[in-house]
């Protein structure tokens, strides 16, 4: 399979290594320094594009691929206000788009555990709910896409919460789910869901030990999506 890497930072490099180890060919590695090379590529020779770039570049990268009938596997966060626009374009172009805030199999199981726990706790008003995420200092967006997905899973079930809010020195607003974001090297990613009461606490946590789990998941998805059409997520891939 010929893979185009859109975003050749730390994640892009690991994705490239894993893809090549699995017998795939990297058609090109695009970053901000050589983005003009896209116009010289033979799009018909590319089977899948894996996009892990920067929030400001993600939309253009994805649209470039969709317009050329290249299936896109995207993991960039911080641009999702335009996700609906991409999905509409994908449908209009009869294209293929796969998005996940996190490609780790373990994290996606954690998402399901989080939703299940929130259903159990939705009427337990004595518990205060909060989220915390820790990433490396090079991660630009805060809160992370993964912790936002966790927040959305809780908000689906806990009606007393109206939305989420990034916690600062100021008190979190009433009815809002507080998120604490920390940037500490070399942490690849820790996510914690807390239910705290005066009697006891309940906590679930996922800790990544490296980026390899994210990268391997993206390559496995690229293999899976190659000949499909439509809009997909990790729930589809994992049959959750």
For every one of its 240 residues, what pLDDT tens digit does the chain have, with 9 covering 90 and above? 999 999 998 899 999 999 999 999 999 999 988 999 998 999 999 999 999 999 999 999 999 999 999 999 999 988 999 999 999 999 999 999 999 988 998 999 999 999 999 999 999 999 999 999 998 887 777 898 889 999 999 999 999 999 999 987 556 678 999 999 999 888 888 999 999 999 999 999 999 888 888 899 999 999 999 999 999 999 999 886
pLDDT, residue 174, reads: 81
Residues of each domain in the chain carrying CATH 3.30.360.10: 105-207
Q: Which is the catalytic residue, given 24, 135, 167, 191?
A: 135
Distance CA 7, CA 45 (A): 19
Residues of each domain in the chain carrying CATH 3.40.50.720: 2-103+212-238
pLDDT, residue 110, reads: 95
CATH architecture of residue range(s) 105-207: 2-Layer Sandwich (3.30)
DSSP 38: G
Distances (CA, A) of 16 to 82, 89, 141, 169: 27, 27, 23, 41
Query: What pTM, to 2 d.p., does this model score?
Result: 0.79
Q: Is 139 a catalytic residue?
A: yes
Q: Is 167 a catalytic residue?
A: no
Distance CA 101, CA 234 (A): 9
pLDDT, residue 172, reads: 65
Distance CA 85, CA 93 (A): 12
- Is the bond preceding 186 in cis, omega lying within 30 degrees of 0? yes
Say what the alpha-carbon torsion angle 108, 114, 115, 118 is, to the nearest 10 degrees: -170
Question: Which of these CATH numbers, 3.30.365.10, 1.10.1060.10, 3.40.50.720, 2.40.30.10, describes 2-103+212-238?
Answer: 3.40.50.720
Q: Which is the catalytic residue, given 139, 194, 226, 229?
A: 139
Distance CA 145, CA 189 (A): 11
Distance CA 161, CA 175 (A): 5
pLDDT, residue 211, reads: 82
pLDDT, residue 171, reads: 61
Q: Which helix H or strand E contains 141, and what residues bound it?
A: none
């Amino acid at each position: 399979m010929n893979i185009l890497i859109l975003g050749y930072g730390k994640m892009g490099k690991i994705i490239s290594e894993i893809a090549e180890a699995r017998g795939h060919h990297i058609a090109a590695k695009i970053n901000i320094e050589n983005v003009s090379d896209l116009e010289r590529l033979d799009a018909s020779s590319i089977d899948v594009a894996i996009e892990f770039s920067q929030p400001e570049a993600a939309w253009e990268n994805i649209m470039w691929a969709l317009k050329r009938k290249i299936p896109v596997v995207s993991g960039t966060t911080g641009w999702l206000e335009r996700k609906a626009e991409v999905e509409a374009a994908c449908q209009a172009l009869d294209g293929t788009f796969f998005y996940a805030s996190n490609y780790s199999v373990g994290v996606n199981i954690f998402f399901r555990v989080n939703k299940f726990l929130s259903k159990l706790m939705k009427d337990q008003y004595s518990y205060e709910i909060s989220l915390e995420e820790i990433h490396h200092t090079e991660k630009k967006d805060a809160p992370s896409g993964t912790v936002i997905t966790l927040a959305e899973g809780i908000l689906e079930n806990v009606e007393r919460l109206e939305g989420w809010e990034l916690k600062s020195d100021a008190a979190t607003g009433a009815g809002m789910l507080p998120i604490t974001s920390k940037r500490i090297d070399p942490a690849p990613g820790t996510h914690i869901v807390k239910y705290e009461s005066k009697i006891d606490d309940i906590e679930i946590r996922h800790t990544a030990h490296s980026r390899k789990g994210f990268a391997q998941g993206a390559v496995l998805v690229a293999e899976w999506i190659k000949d499909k059409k439509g809009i997909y997520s990790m729930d589809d891939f994992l049959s959750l």
